Amino acid sequence: MEDREAWLRLALVPGIGESALHRLIEAFDSPEAALAASRTQLQLLLRANQIEALQAGPDAGLLKESLAWLGDEAHHLVTWLDPDYPQQLREMADPPALLYGKGRRELLGGNGLAIVGSRTATAQGEANAEAFARILSEAGITIVSGLALGIDAAAHRGGLKGKGSTIAVVGTGLDRVYPARNKALAHEIAQNGLLLSEFPLGTNSAPGHFPKRNRIISGLSHAVLVVEAALNSGSLITARLALEQGREVMAIPGSIHSPLSKGCHALIKQGAKLVESAQDIVEELAWPAVAAVPAPPGTSREHIEPVLQHLGHDPLSLDQLAERSGLTVEALSAKLLTLELEGLVAQLPGGRYQRLS
Tens digits of residue pLDDT in 157-170:
999 999 999 999 99
Closest by Cα among 185, 197, 183 to 159? 185
Q: According to the model, what pLDDT value does residue 14 have?
A: 93
What is the chain's mean pLDDT, rounded? 90
As a whole number of angstroms, the distance between CA 24 and CA 45 comes to 7
pLDDT (0 to 100) of residue 31: 95
CA Rg, the chain, in Å?
A: 23
Q: Which helix (H) or strand (E) holds 271?
A: none
pLDDT of residue 328: 87
Stretch (H or E) spanning 116:
strand 111-116
28-41 mean pLDDT: 95
Residue 101: predicted pLDDT: 98
Residue 103 burial by CB count (10 A; 0-12/13-18/19+): exposed, middle or buried? Answer: buried
More confident residue, 2 or 174: 174
Least confident of 214-218, 318-322, 346-350: 346-350
pLDDT digits (tens, 9 = 90+) for 203-212: 999 999 999 9
Least confident of 71-75, 123-127, 214-218: 123-127
Q: How far is CA 231 from the centre of its chain?
A: 19
Band of residue 314 on the pLDDT scale cut at 50, 70, 90 = confident
Q: Are 293 and 140 in contact (CB under 8 A)?
A: no
Region 224-253 average pLDDT: 92
Question: How far apart, in whole angstroms, are the C-alpha atoms of residue 351 and residue 96?
Answer: 47
Burial 55-92 (b: 16+ CB within 10 A, else e): eeebeeeebeebeebbeeeebbbbbbebeebbebbeeb
What is the pLDDT at residue 341? Answer: 62
